[in-house]
Amino acid sequence: MTNILRATARRVALMRAAEAGAVAAIAGGLAAAALQVAWTIAPRYPLAAAGICFLPLLAGVVVFALPGRLRILGVEDRIALVIGGTCIGIGAAGIWAVQAGWYEHVSKALVAVTLMPVAGLAGAVVRALRPVRPTDAAILRDLHYDRRERLSTAAELVAGRTRDGAVAEYVCSQAAAALRGQSDAIRPPWRRTGTTAALLVLVAVLCVVLSVSAGLSSPARLKAEAAVAVEMRKMSPSEQDDLLARLHKARARQGAATLQQKLTQAEQALQDGDAGKLTQLIRALIEAGVDVRALFGKKMLEVATGRGAKGGAPPETQTATVAVKPVPAAPAPAYVYVYHPAYARLLAAGAKGGTDSQPATSVGNVLVPFDAAWDAARIRAENNLARSRSKIPPQYHQLIRDFFAEGDQAGG
């Protein structure tokens, strides 16, 4: 009799852990679905995304504040704490990711694949920590099979180790007679209906659909990416260099780390010829308030936002994936070397052990290369010298201007 009750208790504990894991997994899946929706619309509607992430957090607070309301669903207090903690944690992490921009680096499919099993495992473990006693198992079997408390009475006698052996033997024999011919697998102690399992499957399917749809591009976006690819092919090496210089300068002026990161990614996408990534970054920069027209030009802005491709993209580019060839590297420029004695003295003074009056070594004819990027370098130098807080010592300002003037004269 004792072995039967212990086996029943183990089975009941296992089923209760499975039930708790299923309920917690459903809660984690719904919270993960909210995160997937929020992170999908975050690049365009960040406030709405944060609001959607707030919904799981609010649900978790309600669970903590009103645990009695969950008795309708048959959720125990410990499982309610797991559900509430899961919702609050997922909601807070989602809001933080939207505000910090980290959602772009996290796979939406990974969110659902991770959060649902973790929440289910947490619920099962918490429920398993609460063991089922043999007397509880006996009461459950009496309720299932209408044994009129025969098993529970026998379990109490076994647990109490009564001194009246005859009474205990009689009660246990009656309980054994009631169990004779009955299989322990006739009615499993699963309290949940099929609705729980069906809801778990539906939530899993919802997360899968959201994960797949997040990776698909709309026809309008594909058309915009194709138009951006065409514009990238039209760029000459010098135009691409100018655009990279503007992006680099804009990144240096930005104080926000998120915008600096987006501009760096835009430079990399331009160098790699990744039209899809560049289109996404242009739209993100527009939402961030960056003057995209001054950086990329009017034409690129129109095609990236879909306002300049009315006739559609060329037939060869209207595919789900746009094959973009990287812009070929510019040929090696024809260098013109110029010599400036003051620049030579400056280099010599910077050598180890040297001073302005007595250089450490004789530099000789120091030749400085002049190429197509000379104008951009000269403009940057003038801008640095014009700043009131320039880090360049005043005694070198005229030297730098003379250096560029000599280079302009030699290059002309």
Please give the pLDDT value at position 163: 46
The single residue listed with the structure tokens 């006693």 is 133
Q: Which of 38-42, 133-137, 184-188 has the highest mean predicted lDDT (pLDDT)?
A: 38-42
d(CA 308, CA 253): 29
H or E segment to which residue 122 belongs: helix 108-128
Q: What is the mean pLDDT of the chain?
A: 66
Per the model's pLDDT, the better-predicted residue between 350 and 75 turns out to be 75
User: Rounded mean pLDDT of 204-221?
Assistant: 66
Q: Which of 155-164, 274-283, 393-402 has the highest mean predicted lDDT (pLDDT)?
A: 393-402
Please give the pLDDT value at position 374: 66
Please give the pLDDT value at position 83: 83
Q: What pTM did the predictor assign?
A: 0.48
d(CA 176, CA 155): 12
Q: Are 265 and 277 in contact (CB under 8 A)?
A: yes
> No. of H helices and E strands in the chain?
17, 2
Please give the pLDDT value at position 151: 53
Please give the pLDDT value at position 323: 40
- pLDDT tier for residue 330 given thresholds of 50, 70 and 90: very low
The single residue listed with the structure tokens 């007679």 is 177
Mind listing the pLDDT tens digit for each residue in 138-176? 666 655 555 554 555 555 545 555 444 444 554 566 556
Measured CA distances, 135 to 124, 150, 160, 186, 408 (Å): 22, 11, 11, 20, 97
Per the model's pLDDT, the better-predicted residue between 137 and 364 turns out to be 137
User: Rounded mean pLDDT of 96-114?
Assistant: 73
Mind listing the pLDDT tens digit for each residue in 61-99? 888 777 565 555 566 777 788 888 888 888 888 888 877
Quote the percentage of the chain above a pLDDT of 90: 0
- pLDDT tier for residue 385 given thresholds of 50, 70 and 90: confident
Per the model's pLDDT, the better-predicted residue between 308 and 47 turns out to be 47
Q: How many CB atoms lie within 10 A of CB 368?
A: 18
- If 0-12 CB within 10 Å is exposed, 13-18 middle and 19+ buried, where does residue 362 land? exposed
Q: Are 337 and 244 in contact (CB under 8 A)?
A: no
Which residue(s) pair with 339 in the sheet? Answer: 367
Q: Which of 4-8, 124-128, 310-314 has the highest mean predicted lDDT (pLDDT)?
A: 124-128
Per the model's pLDDT, the better-predicted residue between 328 and 246 turns out to be 246
d(CA 143, CA 198): 26
User: Rounded mean pLDDT of 207-230?
Assistant: 63
Please give the pLDDT value at position 2: 62
**pLDDT higher than 50, residue 364:** no
- pLDDT tier for residue 307 given thresholds of 50, 70 and 90: low
H or E segment to which residue 196 belongs: helix 194-214
Per the model's pLDDT, the better-predicted residue between 355 and 14 turns out to be 14
**pLDDT higher than 60, residue 358:** no
Mind listing the pLDDT tens digit for each residue in 249-263? 776 666 556 666 666
The pairing of strands 336-339 and 367-370 is antiparallel
Per the model's pLDDT, the better-predicted residue between 329 and 79 turns out to be 79
Q: Hey, what are 377's tokens?
A: 């370098």
**Per-residue b or e along 88-122, where b marks 16 or more CB atoms closer than 10 Å to that residue's CB:** bbbbebbbebbeebebbeeebbebbbebbebbbeb
- If 0-12 CB within 10 Å is exposed, 13-18 middle and 19+ buried, where does residue 254 land? middle
Among 6-10, 222-226, 231-235, where is mean pLDDT lowest?
222-226
Please give the pLDDT value at position 193: 62
Please give the pLDDT value at position 197: 78
- pLDDT tier for residue 10 given thresholds of 50, 70 and 90: confident
**pLDDT higher than 60, residue 126:** yes
Please give the pLDDT value at position 93: 85
